Every structure is written in structure tokens, then in C-alpha cells.
Structure 1
Amino acid sequence: MKNFIIIPFVILFLACNSSTEKKISKEQMPVSNTMLERVEPPNWWVNFKDSSLQLLVKENNIGDFTPSISYAGVTIDKFHKARSENYLFIDILIEKNTNPGKFDIVFTSEKGLKKTHTYELKSRVKSAEDYVGFNSSDAIYLITPDRFANADESTDVIKNLKDTSLDRTDGYKRHGGDLKGIINHIDYISNLGFTTVWPTPVLLNDMARGSYHGYAITDYYTVDPRFGTMADYKKLADDLREKGMKLIMDQVANHCGLEHWWMKDIPFDDWVNNQKNYEDNIDNWGWESNIGSNHRRTTNQDFYASESDKKGNNEGWFVADMPDLNQRNPFMAKYIIQNSIWWIETLGLGGIRQDTYPYPDKDFMSDWAGAIMAEYPNFSIVGEEWSYNPLLVGYWQKGANNKDGYESNLKSPMDFPMQKAIIDGINEEESWDKGLVKLYEGLANDFHYTTPKDIMVFLDNHDKSRLYTEVKEDAAKAKMAFSYMLLLPRIPQVYYGTEILMDDSANPGDHGLIRTDFPGGFKGDKINAFTGTGLSEKQKDMQSFVSKLLNYRKNSKAIHDGKTIHFAPFMGTYFLFRILNDEIVVHIINKNDKPITIDLKRYAEIGLEGKTLKNLISGHDYIWGDSMELKNKGSIILTTKK
């Protein structure tokens, strides 16, 4: 879920022009050379398993025209008029082994007028099976692009967009970070040990305020020029692949931005939810508007939920400047599915993160994920389910034994329950039901999940207070939480800056502070975390700690696929083991302020007696004997791997 400033609705159309000011150029627009206003998807590919393609055509009075195509292997199955005469939806069939190429779609009116659009079918760069998604061997680096690094100041302000703010002192205005800023620091991310990058959305957000965060999309096929160009987005994906890394795209199927181009000319009566109320009150639409939302996500599972409450969650607008898309409309459903596939092919994605997963129509979300996974069997999708109850999170994972028979087709929900368990467990004083017991019991809930290692775990993100703030600015506790997360049978996600103890302590939970600029990413920064210049010793130590753990984890089969054994917390300590063949990784959390000695015979079943293990952080060898002295509060990570 996101933080937004609600603004009155202003009906403006985003137009390109040829002035010398920095604006969206024609070559940035994802449409082919055509006289028509829009045809989406702007291109397609041959040899998909699903041979169907539906084109959304937007052009003045296009509903009065009949389309035709003359190209071997491509036929029009049917076409559909909309409520608005300015739309036409064309169902196309593409036969197997159709040759890639360009062809004209000819539109003819009853009066004999003709309009022509040149469309292209491309060859697929690689087979569907070669689109390999993220998994438990990966570690994901989450970035808010506007706040990470500014490599192209010429795009900081785009004059013909509604938000021309640039103020790094204001957490809710644009700061200037861009795609090139991420590209320029791939080595830094890779050297830390990350294998995957997840930027928050970079598509066009032509909103008057708060446009920096990316979650109010106003064009699903255009990169926001303040972040860069389509070429920049492709280069980011290509450069990551060259490093053996993956790119995750943050997508939003639940809602768009109020300034989306279709909101000034809505195709159907049911294109968005709560549409009549919006259209009846368009001139006075704002903060006080009735958006019909209750945000009761449990209505997706609740046997007793009223129809009213279900509609409030699935059909209510997220906020007043974010129209709720109606995925029950078959044309909207097809549009969203095709858009996701278009980006997978265009960027060669290594995964999708789907925002606000429990809010859209859940049957559609099953169809959406199912369509993607049917086409790309080795792909990965993670869905945001912001619930601390593992019953709710588990419901959304593929293969869950749901009493209502629901199959999500979603491989990876997000592990909010474990995030809370880790933070609470590290912070709380030890007792029979608090402290480390929270971690232990949180992991014990894995029996509920279909495949625990496919769930994405995290400690902080772009919506939640930062780890260092959550643990009361205690570096030892931050290390305990971080190392424990990396040893779990999960896919770990780390928010940019966690590695240098970035915080939001001045106002915990404030989204502007959570999304603070990364030091060194902007002109004039006195501190540079990319090089280490100006970092405190505590920050450098954490950065080194993170790098050592991640780089070990990158090649640890025991952590990726091994057996997990943990022992109930004892004397303020908690032992977790990951085991595969001759590799055993030991994680020990010690919350004692004074030295203690632990009897290791309690862990005899692991079979470590007399074996030499290496401390991953210090590099020192340790021989596993009858007892262990723990001198300092913190975490210890040992391995039998040489």
C-alpha cells in the first residue's frame, strides 16, 4: 500500500510537440508510425502458445470503421465497438509459424474513408522456457529509482508534464533519480552479493503531485521520461543479464492514475469500478469523494463476508486519485494480461512484482498469473499481500489447499508475517512467549505454506519503516535480523540503504523519510556510500557484514535448497541449521548482554561434533565441541563449507 496526496481531477491530455523544451519525444512513445492516436499493444510477437491478440484502437470516431488485414497467417476473428465511438477492440488470430514482419491494418468507414495503421509482429528473442524467474538462490535489491542516483540531470524536469517539482528537501517531491543512475551502479549492487534488482514502477505517472513513487500509472506502455527512455529501461535489463542478474518489474493491475489518458474518454460503462459515481461527480472529485473502498482484504477468504464488504475491497478505489480498474470487463482483463506479457518480452524480465495483490478481482488475478505462467513455465511472480496472518498469505500461494477451491497460480506471496515476527522477536525482552520465541514460532508456521522457499521475505521496504529504525538504531540487532532473514528457506528482499543502516528515525513510518536519497547518488553529496567516502565506521561495518553474507549465500546450496532444523530458544539464544549433503550452515542469535556458555550436546542430532567450521564474518575456524562460549550479543554464522 502506498502514501498519496489527493488532488482535484484536472482533465488534460498528454501531447507530444516539437518545441525545444525537454518533453516526451515521438521516439519515446511506444506506437508505430501511424496516423491513429493509439494502438495497444504497440507490437506483438509470433509463436506464442496463445494464438490470440486483442488490439485496443483509440482514434476519433474509429467505431464507425471496419478493420481488415491482409497478411499470411494473421486473421481478424471479430471486432467490438465500445460505448465511446473513439474505440475499437480487434480480436486477431496469429497462426503458428507465421512469419514476423510488418503489415497494414486498414480501417474503412461506410462512406469509404480509409485509415491505415502499420503493425509489426516480431520474432521472439528466446524461448518461453528460457525466461527463468527468481527463486531461493536469489537475493533481491529493492530500489525507489527517484531516490537512488541521478545520472542525467537533463531529465529532472519535463516541462509538459503536470508535476515539475524538483526539491530534494521535500520527501514528497521528485528528487531526480533515474534509470541511468541504477545502470551506473550495477557493479555496486552485484559486488554486495545481490542477484536481482527490483525498481518500483518507472512507467509514466503524469500526476500533479506525488509522481515520484510510480504507483499511479497514466500510460502502461510508456517509460516516464523523468526516469529515462525505453532504451534506458532495456539497457538496465541487458546490463543486469550480462552480470548474470535479473530484473523484476513492479506492475499495478488494481488501479491506474486519475490522469490516465483513458479517463477523459472511458471506453465502456464498466471500464473502472464505481464509474458512475465518478462520472456524475467529475467536476467536484477530490479528497471527500465517495470512493466506495473499505480495504477489507480478508473478504477474499471470509466465508461470512457480506457482498457489500467484498465489493468495498475489490471494487472500491484505493484512493480518490487512483481509479480502480474493473478486471471483470473482458477487454480490461485482456489489456492487463497482454501488457504484462508485452513487458516480459520487451525487457526479457526475470520476474514481476504485482502491487496490492488482494484488491483486484481474485478470479482475474488467477487468470492473469495463470496466463503468464502457462506461457513462461519457469517465470516468477510475487504478489504483495500486506497481512500479518500466515493463513491469509498462504491462501494466495499456488497449490494451497483452500476450502473454497481457489487456485491463485501465484508462486510467491510476500512474507509480512515473518517480517513482523523477526522485528518483534529481535526487539522484545526474552520470556516464554516473547523475544526469540516469536522468530521460532513464526518459522514453525511454514507447515501452512505450499512451498516456503518460494515466499519472499524482507525486513523493510518502500512502505514500511526502515530496519535500523525498527530495531531502535541498534546495529547488533540489525545484524541479527538481517543474518536470520538470509538463512531462512525463503527468497530475501533488501531495501536500498539497509546495508548502510539508513533510517527514518526522525519521523518513523514517514514515506518521505523511508524513501530517503541514497548518499552518493546525487550531485553535491558529501557522503558516498558507493565508494565508502564519509560513511561512519558502524555503517562500513554493516555494509561489509551484508556483503560477506550475501556473497556466501549466492553459492550456498544448503541455504538455497537444504533441510531446515531449528531448536526452541534457550537461555536467550536461538540456533538454526541449514543442511545439504556435507554443507551445514549454523546461525546463532545471542541476545545476552553478558557472556554465557551453551551446552552443545543439545544439538547433537546435527552431527557436528569434532568438525571444523568457519566463521563467515571473521574468517576464523571453530571446532565444534561440547560447549560454546558466547561473549557478545549478536549473531554468529558458521559453515562447514571450505
Structure 2
Amino acid sequence: MKRFLLLIAFVLTFAGTRAAQIIRVEPASWWTGMVNTQLQLMVYGKGIGASKVSFTYPGVTLKEAAHTNNPNYLFVYLNIAKDTKPGTLKLQFNQGNQTLTHNYPLLARTNKEGAAGFSQADVMYLITPDRFANANAANDALEGVQVNREDPNARHGGDLAGIEKRINYIKDLGFTTVWLNPVQENRMPGGSYHGYAITDFYNIDPRFGTNTEFKNLTANMHRNGLKVVMDMIFNHCGSSHWWMNDLPSKDWINNNSGTYVQTNHAKYTLMDPHAAGIDKDILINGWFVKEMPDLNQRNRHLATYLIQNSIWWIEYSRIDGIRQDTYPYPDYDFMARWCREVQAEYPQFNIVGESWYGRSSASSWWQQGSALNKQGKTGLKTVMDFPLTFITSGAFDYIKEDRTGEGSPLYSIYEELAQDFMFADQSNILTFLDNHDLDRFARADDPDLRRYKQALAFLLTTRGIPQIYYGTEILMDGKKAKSDGYVRTDFPGGWAGDKTDDFTPAGRTAKQNEAWSYMQKLLTWRKNNPAIAQGKLVHYVPDGTGVYVYARTSGTKTVLVLLNGTNTERDVPMERFKQVTGTRTRGTDVITGKQLNISQNIKVPAKGQYILELN
């Protein structure tokens, strides 16, 4: 659908002087046969709020025409019966002797591919679109915002066409799912390359492409066996959002009195039984930054607007999942309602909420079914495991002297996973070594790939849904101390004229190719592996050897993993692991193909690992 189709196309007939006008109707289209038969239309235009709405269409009835304190808005609530036929709904807005007619498309809902959700059988590839690849230079510089690749905080020109051009690269690496940082419009001064300051919830950013291009990209991903996860933000919008010049109502934005109130980021107040009300209020109603006005989801019109926006994108583009930014910051009851309504329309769909906490107790509190949360059902299927990420950033480091037992660097991982009893669903936890908000896991000063390989071995074999940040496969490094832009650098070869092309083996160094091939082998092996996709995790306390051993088991399939956290080769007695090895005597290392006798001691190389499929 081209951008002009999302703008208002209406037929205007009038007698006398025109007093009202229609500038926008959102959403610009809808579907018949939805589970939720109610549809809200936000109608915007000069004086439109004084109009009376009328229409005649079989199966469609007017439930409410709601007014706000702003006469330029009218919220029209329709009921669309399940057996309503697709067609054009001719809405009439009558005001005195004037009639405005808006032709509203009611489309047929089809059972297309997509909206499939994601699970621990998948591995996500996280892309920052502005920094991945540029295949359409014509959309780089728009409205005075220039591309400057020398500035880490400016627009660099990456786009949807660049991602589409690299689908085979992502597929060949072995990923099953692509998570895109926000692609909705960000027409902010300076560019807002990261996408988290949305200025139009219903349009793709023109510097990335068009709605049609996004829809086609998703379809192409599906044809290549890839799923698509869309980043969304309900907590705030960008200060240049079109409605900021004429807010739909006084309470559309939190703390909108002219005195700036910044959030305190005190996310623990939501679950803290001793929390002071003012602390919780500042968390929810304060702004992230002055450029990101905080949305008030307690406003019923805004709440419905945001929920419908998600459903519109799912139905229009057939994305498979959503990653919701800053999940604890919006209104709690609203977020629970959003999860319920999306799940009702798309039962297989999955939503992961950014629950940025340093403790598993807090992360697990947000997951649907948590016994710790007495506040009410969250509806959130998947949470992000930041506590594990913070541990793994150092757990695989080189140590000066060998430590075993509780002193082992891998003991902290064991201890963290031992607290999984707090999670209601241990399979729906997003695990990662880094992402667009953290220092990159790979380090320029690492002498070899042992830290890298061991961390990937763990990430891709432990419980949960793994996510890998673009460029990890070629050892992209960077710290965010100066700014986030230093961990969101351009993928070499994504731009015409780049000195190297790391999308190809010839453009990569020998070390990069070794890392790339290691990841590819693990990802390819992991696909459709029942022990990983559905398997139970059984792990053992790192003992005197300093080796962390665990298994994933499903039916007759068992994968046994041995991670040596020490600087010396370790001789590991195998009798202890009979619960998972059973009567089997041999295992095949999935990386080297080496056959090992698991009925006797196994020597695990220093800072090395074995991933054994038991025969």
C-alpha cells in the first residue's frame, strides 16, 4: 500500500460555506471477521468534532461518537458484526448544511502466512535498520536531515531495501527470525536514527522505505523461512509527532503542564510492597527525555488507538511477533489488556516485553502466570533475561588463576539458572549476550575465540529463546560509554564504496571467518533439534573441576554440554551424569564431529567446550 493510500482520500460535497474538514482518519482501513467486533476511528480535522456521524452499511452499527475538549477530533466507535461483508463504508459527517463523506475500506481478512509467533526453537537476529545496509540512496536525506556516517549519532542511510538484499545472508547463517529495531516514522530534528521517537504510528519511516516495502519484506522473509518481529513503543512518542501541535485531549500526554518531569526509572516500585506512591507516579508519568513525550494510556481513546495500531500492523504486514519497548513504564492494566486483545486475534502470536531488571525475581514478575505477581494477570508471554546477560558478560572472561566450585566463573550462571523456579514459563525467556542498548559482547582485545565460542555454545543450548545482535558473527565490538552510536555501528559492506565487505568470506579476516563459521554451524545444527526446541534443562553444580555440565533432553533425544571455565585442561568424571546419559556410551561433538566415549572420563580443553549429541 503506497503512502498516499494511508492519507485521507475523501469526497467532499457541500452547500454553503465550508466549516469543517477531514485531514486524517486512523486507522486508514480495517478488516471484517475480526474477533473483536469494535473499531475505533480517530477522525481529525478542523471543527470535525461538532459533526454528527451517519452511514448505512449491513452489519455495521454506530456505537458511539465521542468528543474531547479539542473540537478538531472525533472518536467514532463502530461495531462490525462477524458476518459483515467487505466493501466501502461511506461515513457521512454532517454539520449544519455541510456534509463530508469519507469512503472507509473494510477489507477481507484472509488466513495468510505469518503471525506465527516465535519459540525456543527459533533464534532471533537483531538489526538496527539504519546501520545494517543501504540499498536505496534516494531515501537517505529527507526534509533537511542529512546522512553523516562519520557521526555515530546521525542518520547513516540503512533501509528496508538493504535488509531485503541481505535475506540470503541471514538465512545462510542459520537464523529463523529477524527482530527489527523500530521502523515506524521518526521525523525528528537530527534524524532519530534509532527509531524510538515515533512521529507517526501508522507509517514506515520514509528514510527506511514505505508501508508496501515493509509488507513485501515480511512476505519475502516468510518465503525464505524467516519470521519477523517488529519493535513497538507505547510508553512515549516523538516530540515531532503530528498530534503534538494539536493534542486530541488535555490528558493525552502525562505531565503536560509545561513543567518537565523526567521519569526516575524506579521500575522496582511497581512490585515493591513498601513503595511510596509518588515514586511510582514519577516512574509511570515522567518522560524519558524532553524529546519523548510520555503517553497517558489511561485515556481510553489513546489506549484503544495503540491496541488497534498493533493489530493493524499484524494484519496488514503479517509480522510474527512484537518486542515491546520499556514494558514496565506504561499503564499496567492497559498493557495487560493489549496482550489479551492481541492474543485473542492471533493465538500463536508472541510478545516479548523489555523488562530491564538486574534480578530474576523482578523479570519473572512480569511473565504471565507468575506466582510472585499479586497485582493481576499481565498477559505477557515472554520476558527478557537481562540478569543472565549481565552475568554472561563476565562469566566467560579469561581469569588469572583457576577457580573451582563456587569460585568458578561459570558458577554464577549455574546459580542464576537455579532460580528459574520464579519463571512461570522457562521456555519463553529471551536470552542474549548483548543488544543495541548494551556494550557489545565481542572485545577487540580478546586474544582468541575461546570466550566467544564458549558463550555462543551456552547461549544456543541453554533454555529460552536466543537473540544475537547483528555483527556478532563478524566480531563487531564497541562500548556505549560515549554514546549508543558506538554499539550501533555500520555493518562493513552494507554501503556502496565500503573498504571491506564483511557479508562475504573474502571481505572478512581469518579470525572473523572462523567466528562466522562457528556460529553458522551451531545455528544450522540447532534448527529443528527437538532436544533444544522442547527439551528440559538438567544441570549440575560446577564442582572441583570448574566445568559446568548440563543437558537438554526431549524423549529419546539428549544433548550434553560441557563448558570448561578454567585455563587448564580438565579431566571430567562422567559417572555423575548418569541421570541424563543413561546407558548411552558415546557422544558426537556437533562442531568437530569428534566421537567421545562418555562411559569414561572426558578431557575438556582449557576454556573449551563440547556439545555432544548422545548416541
Which among 93, 118, 122 is matched to residue 103 of structure 2?
118
8 Å CA contact retained: 1:28, 1:222: no
Deviation at 1:434, TM superposition (A): 5.2
Distance of 2:9 and 2:603 partners within structure 1? 69
Determine whether 1:73 maps to 2:59. yes
C-alpha RMSD of matched pairs (Å)? 1.9
CA contact (8 A) 2:135 2:162 kept: yes
Q: CA deviation at 1:307?
A: 1.3
User: 2: CA distance between counterparts of 1:470 and 1:441?
Assistant: 29
Q: Check conservation: 2:11, 2:100, Cα contact below 8 A.
A: no
Deviation at 1:28, TM superposition (A): 6.4
Counterpart CA distance in 1 for 2:456 and 2:11 is: 52
Q: Percent identity?
A: 41
Q: 1:541 to 1:598 in 2, by over 3 A?
A: same
Taking a change above 3 Å as real, the CA distance of residues 521 and 350 of structure 1, as seen in their structure-2 partners, is same
2-structure distance, mates of 1:434, 1:155: 52
Contact 2:120–2:463, Cα closer than 8 Å, also in 1: yes
1:56-95 per-residue CA deviation (whole Å, 9 max, x = no partner) reads 0001110121111111111111101121111000010101
The partner residue of 2:193 within 212, 237, 248 is 212
d(CA) in 2 for partners of 1:193, 1:446: 28
What is the match of residue 17 of structure 2?
Answer: none
**Number of residues of Structure 1 aligned to a counterpart in Structure 2:** 601
Q: Which residue of 2 aligns with 1:134?
A: 118
Tell me how far apart the structure 2 counterparts of residues 509 and 484 of structure 1 sit (CA, whole Å).
30
From 154, 164, 167, give the equivalent of 1:183: 164
In 2, Cα distance between equivalents of 1:76 and 1:478: 60
- Which secondary structure does the structure 2 equivalent of 1:105 belong to? strand
Deviations 1:567-599 (A, max 9, x none): 111322111111122221121111332323221
Among residues 221, 231, 236, which one is paired with 2:217 in the alignment? 236
What SS does the aligned partner of 1:492 have? strand
Q: Is the 8 A contact 1:39 1:55 kept in 2?
A: yes
Change (3 A) 1:411 1:403: closer
1:538 to 508, 511, 525: 511
Shift of 1:402: 3.3
SS in 1 for 2:443: helix
Contact 1:327 1:333 in 2 (8 A): yes
**Contact 2:604–2:610 at 8 Å: present in 1 too?**
no
CA distance in 2, matches of 1:595, 1:103: 73
SS state at 1:116 partner = strand
Residue 276 of structure 1 corresponds to which residue in structure 2? Answer: 257
Match of 1:458 in 2: 432
Aligned partners of 1:456 and 1:491 also within 8 Å: yes
Please say if 1:477 is aligned against 2:451.
yes
- How far does residue 27 in structure 1 lie from its aligned partner after superposition? 2.4
SS of aligned partner of 2:419: helix
Distance 1:310 1:590 in 2: 44
Distance 2:586 2:411 in 1: 29
Asked if residue 445 in structure 1 is aligned to residue 419 in structure 2, the reply is yes
Please name the residue that 2:16 is paired with: none
Task: Report the CA distance between 1:562 and its aligned residue.
Answer: 1.1
CA offsets per residue over residues 413-435 of structure 1, 9 Å max, x none? Answer: 11101111222322374352451
Instruction: Quote the residue 1:97 is aligned against.
Output: 83
8 Å contact from structure 1 (residues 426, 471) kept in 2: no
Q: Which residue of 1 aligns with 2:378?
A: 408
Note if 1:504 corresponds to 2:478.
Answer: yes
1:98 is displaced (CA, Å) by 0.3
Query: Does the aligned pair in 1 maintain the 2:131–2:490 contact within 8 Å?
Result: yes
Looking at structure 2, the residues matched to 180 and 200 of structure 1 have their Cα atoms a distance apart, in angstroms, of 15
C-alpha separation in 1, matches of 2:333 and 2:499: 51
Please tell me whether the aligned partners of residues 49 and 71 of structure 2 are also in contact (alpha carbons under 8 angstroms).
Answer: yes
Correspondence 1:353 to 2:327 = no
What is the 5 A alignment of 1:478-627? 478-504=452-478, 510-570=483-543, 571-607=545-581, 611-627=585-601
Amino acid at match of 1:640: L
Deviation at 1:179, TM superposition (A): 0.3
1:34 Cα deviation from its structure 2 partner: 5.8
Q: For 1:522, give the aligned amino acid.
A: W
Q: Does 1:150 align with 2:134?
A: yes
1:336 pairs with one of 298, 301, 306: 306
Q: Structure 2 matches for 1:307-326, cutoff 5 A?
A: 307-326=277-296
Is the 8 Å Cα contact of residues 3 and 210 (structure 2) preserved in structure 1?
Answer: no
The residue aligned with 1:38 is 24
**Distance in 1, Cα, partners of 2:299 & 2:502:** 48
Aligned to 1:362: 332
Query: Where does residue 363 of structure 2 map in the other structure?
Result: 393
Assess if the C-alpha contact under 8 Å between 1:423 and 1:470 holds in 2: no
The aligned residue for residue 19 of structure 2 is none
Residues 18-50 of structure 1: CA deviation (Å, up to 9, x unaligned): xxxxxx985264544566210001100001111
The answer to whether residue 92 in structure 2 is matched with residue 106 in structure 1 is yes
Distance 1:28 1:433 in 2: 62
- The separation in 2 between residues aligned to 1:25 and 1:343, in whole angstroms, is 15
* Contact 1:468 1:475 (C-alpha < 8 Å) held by counterparts: no
Which deviations, in whole Å up to 9, do the C-alpha atoms of 1:438-485 show, x marking residues without a partner?
110111111110011111111110100111139957521111111101
- TM (normalized to structure 1)? 0.90
Q: Which letter does structure 1 place at the counterpart of 2:409? A: G
Of 367-376 and 507-516, more deviation after overlay is shown by 507-516
Deviation at 1:529, TM superposition (A): 1.9
TM-score under structure 2 length normalisation: 0.94
CA distance in 2, matches of 1:615, 1:314: 49
CA contact (8 A) 2:574 2:600 kept: yes
Residues in 2 aligned to 1:474 and 1:262: alpha-carbon distance in whole angstroms = 52
Kindly provide the amino acid, as one letter, of the partner of residue 149 in structure 2. R
Query: Which residue of the partner structure matches residue 612 of structure 2?
Result: 638
Task: Give secondary structure in 2 for the equivalent of 1:622.
Answer: strand
- Contact 1:233 1:347 (8 Å CA) reproduced: yes
What SS does the corresponding residue of 1:212 show, helix, strand or coil? coil
Q: Is the 8 A contact 2:3 2:203 kept in 1?
A: no
Q: CA deviation at 1:503?
A: 0.1
Structure 1 residue 299 displacement after superposition: 1.2
Name stretches of at least 5 consecutive residues in structure 1 with no aligned partner. 1-23, 279-289
Counterpart of 1:406, as a letter, is: G
Report the counterpart of residue 6 of structure 1 in structure 2. none
State the partner residue of 1:13. Answer: none
- Secondary structure of the 1:392 match is helix
State the shift of 1:354 in Å.
0.3
SS, match of residue 418 in structure 2: helix
Does residue 1:88 correspond to 2:65, yes or no?
A: no
